[in-house]
Structure 1
Amino acid sequence: MQIYPNQFSQDINKALRPCYLIFGDEPQQKFDVIEQIRSKAKASGFVERTVLVAESGFSWNQLIEATQSMSLFSSQQFIELELPTGKPGTEGSKMLQEVAANLNPDILLLVHGPKIGKDVQRGKWFKVLDEIGVSVLCYPLEGKQLNAWINTQLQSHQLSVSPAGAKMISDFCEGNMLAAKQEIDKLALLYPQQSVSETQIEQAMVDQSRYNVFQLVDVMLNGENTRCVKMLYRLESEGLEPNIVIWALIREWEQLWKLKTALQNREPIQWQKFGIWRNRQSYYQNALNRLSIEQLEDIQQALTKADHAFKQNVIARPYIELCHLCMMFMGLDLRAVPLLDA
């Protein structure tokens, strides 16, 4: 049974499941969920804990032995199995299915790892463990979901913050929930159970937002000018290679050109045919509504020129040029402004 991270506390407070599958690329949520399992396990008598990591050279017999061994100190065994790749492989899959079939009340199994795809979730080992336990997929939160998570964290510390203050925390730490949790903990120490103003938040916090190029292109396609510039600034400060960004922009232009051509030919857009999932369709739709064929042609020329210049290392401030290119994707008329600072 799949449960969202924000619903996990309610479920584990009701009862301890025989098995937990925790996967995802958002460390703060994973840490919170796993710590809740460990705490509940200890309180329920699972004091004997075995940690296994299925890395290269791992013997799956260790898992079988752990489920069958009896401790001198406790009859209840808590087994944590980490899958560094998110996949157990053929042998591991068979072993996990065997464990699932023979899991008794004195064994508690936790399997965790990085982000996994639908192919893993459809695997037999995952399904049989999910049927007897709970799976939690932890992904980065954005927008309203991130704001809701921040408000929950603030309430847990009995901190009173205005909507503008919560939004400030979100902006400071967007893309880095671990940093957001740390900053909220800091506010709780500085202003215990108090009402915290926007000025106090601003003075206490350090901008720890962390972005990647995939988030950047989504914001760019959606036409969010200010947020896009902020992301570019952060990516530059983190030392991201500019050629990675230009590659992403070229890829998005190619996708937009295909979509725009289909619309020009009065063809209905089949989003899945273009590999665009539901959560990103609105971004592309906004860009298509905003950009004409002529603007896309101008962007192509600018991208070609910039890509060549980047590869020749003749641009002194590449991120200024990248900002210029992103603004063109947002529909700003920059044709009269020289793109390259040669």
Structure 2
Amino acid sequence: MKYDYWGLVKHLKHPLRQVYVLHGDEILLQQEALIALRQAAQQQGFSERERHDIDKQHDWSMAFSDSHALSLFADKKLIEIYGNKPDAAGAKVIEDYVKHPIDDNVVVLVLPKLDSNTQKSKWFSACDELGVTVSCAPLSDQQFKDWLNQRGRQLKLQLQADALDELCQQTEGNLLAAHQELTKLSLLYGEELLTREHLQHALSDNARFELFDLANTALMGDASKTAKIFFSLKGEGQAESLILWVLNKEIRTLLALSEGLQQGIGLNQLFQQHGVWSKQQAVIQKALKRLSLKRLQALNHTLLEADKAIKGQSLENAWDILLRLSLGLAGVSLFEAII
């Protein structure tokens, strides 16, 4: 059964299924889907929760063998398994488990964006048939506006239409940045009716221009200036999450363009598909020549590492990773092997 985030929320009012797959590159949406699943599981008596991270020391077979272990403290368990797209061995383990699931377990696979071929694979189809697969993809403009409205209501914010439009324009579809701005507005104004003027006063345009300078300079391949802007932003106390936001936007766009070129799609068509303005196209083309597809895929993976570090889910320093990303976008490899 396939759902988006909102479909999952409605589904969770009913008894849980035995397998869930949360896949996509909208990290905040994926995390909120996972939180909603945890809350529903707890309400339905799944009082124990396990986490497994797939890596060289702990593979898919180990994660699922642990799921068969009897609990000493609870009859029902929520088992979260984090990994990349399953390899052939991992896919076989998942298929075997789905054929004979444990009645008192709910297994949740937390995965990155899966391509269309993977979503047609045997393991994914088996999970979809037995349980629920949830696409956590970036939102359309209307979905993003609906999400802002919903999150605003949760924070007891009243946004006039012009204020909502201003917030959409300022955050450009980035859920994490939008959530931070809504939280800040809630602290500043409480339940006051908010207009465009309130938002323009609250949102720091100067800081945002500096943030965009960081991304634009990196795209131009000027590593020295990129480093200067980066350390200036750090010294001013700029939020790590906003620096990640601007880098994420450019890296994801470059990756999508590079993948499209590999598939034989014309660059002009790709520019149109991904909303690259005419003024940006020359800089983007130079960046595509400088950064290989493999390099962009590595930077895309580093975005996830930065997100985990910012959220305290990693022992690595978030600023170190953000510096690697900034200079990596400029074409300089730092603290890692050159790809």
Aligning the two structures, in what range does the TM-score lie when normalised by the shorter sequence?
Answer: 0.5 to 0.7
Shift of 1:34: 0.7
**Length, aligned pairs only:** 250
CA drift of 1:207 comes to 5.4
| Shift, 1:36, TM fit | 0.3
Partner of 1:237: 214
Alignment of 1:38-117 (within 5 A): 38-83=38-83, 85=84, 87-117=85-115
Residues 25-40 of structure 1 correspond to what in structure 2 (within 5 A)? Answer: 25-40=25-40
Q: TM-score, normalised by structure 2?
A: 0.63
CA contact (8 A) 2:68 2:102 kept: no
Q: 1:105 is paired with a residue of what secondary structure? A: coil
What are the Cα deviations for residues 236-291 of structure 1, in whole angstroms up to 9, with x where unaligned? 3234231599xx99xx9xx9xxxxxxxxxxxxxxxx97469x9976789x99xxxx
Residue of structure 2 in register with 1:311 after alignment: none
AA of the residue aligned to 1:202: Q
- 1:187 is paired with a residue of what secondary structure? helix
What percentage of residue pairs aligned between the two structures are identical? Answer: 25
- The answer (yes or no) to whether the contact 2:144–2:173 under 8 Å persists in 1 is no
Structure 2 residue ranges without an equivalent (≥5): 223-249, 290-339
Q: Which residue of 1 aligns with 2:332?
A: none
Aligned partners of 1:21 and 1:136 also within 8 Å? yes
Tell me which amino acid in the other structure corresponds to 1:26.
Answer: E
Q: Which runs of 5 or more structure 1 residues have no equivalent in the other structure? A: 211-229, 256-271, 288-298, 308-342
Matched residues in 2 for 1:283 and 1:186: separation?
30
1:24 aligns with 2:24: yes
User: Kindly tell me: are residues 53 and 12 of structure 1, through their superposed partners in 2, closer, same or farther at Cα, counting changes over 3 Å?
Assistant: same
Q: Which amino acid aligns with 1:237?
A: L
Q: Deviations over 1:105-134 (max 9, x none)?
A: 301000012111112111211110111111
Aligned ranges for residues 161-200 of structure 1 at < 5 Å?
Answer: 161-200=159-198
Confirm or deny: 8 A CA contact 2:61 2:90 kept in the other structure: no
Contact 1:4 1:137 in 2 (8 A): yes
What is the deviation of 1:177?
1.1
Question: What amino acid does structure 2 have at the position aligned with 1:73?
Answer: F
The farther-off stretch of 183-192 and 112-121 is 183-192
Conserved 8 A contact 1:173-1:207? no
CA RMSD of aligned residues (A): 3.8
The question of 1:202 aligning with 2:200 is answered yes
| 1:145 Cα offset (Å) | 2.5
CA distance in 2: counterparts of 1:55 and 1:80, whole angstroms? 14
Change (3 A) 1:10 1:280: farther
- Alpha-carbon distance change, 48 to 177 in structure 1, aligned in 2, over 3 angstroms: same
Give secondary structure in 1 for the equivalent of 2:138: coil
Cα shift readout 1:190-218 (whole Å, capped 9, x = no counterpart): 333331222222233345999xxxxxxxx
Instruction: Tell me the CA shift for residue 141 of structure 1.
Output: 2.4
Aligned residues of 1:176 and 1:209 also touching (Cα < 8 A): no
Select 2:135's aligned residue among 124, 130, 137. 137
Query: Against the structure 1 CA distance between its residues 275 and 21, is the aligned structure 2 distance closer, same or farther, given a 3 Å change threshold?
Result: farther
Secondary structure in structure 1 of the residue aligned to 2:114: coil
Q: Post-superposition shift, 1:135?
A: 1.1
Asked if the contact 1:26/1:138 (under 8 Å) is kept, the reply is yes
Per-residue CA deviations over 1:19-70 (Å, capped at 9, x if unaligned) read 1111111111111101101111122111211111112232333223222111
Q: Which structure has the greater CA radius of gyration? A: 1
Classify the secondary structure of the residue corresponding to 2:12: helix
Secondary structure of the 1:240 match is helix
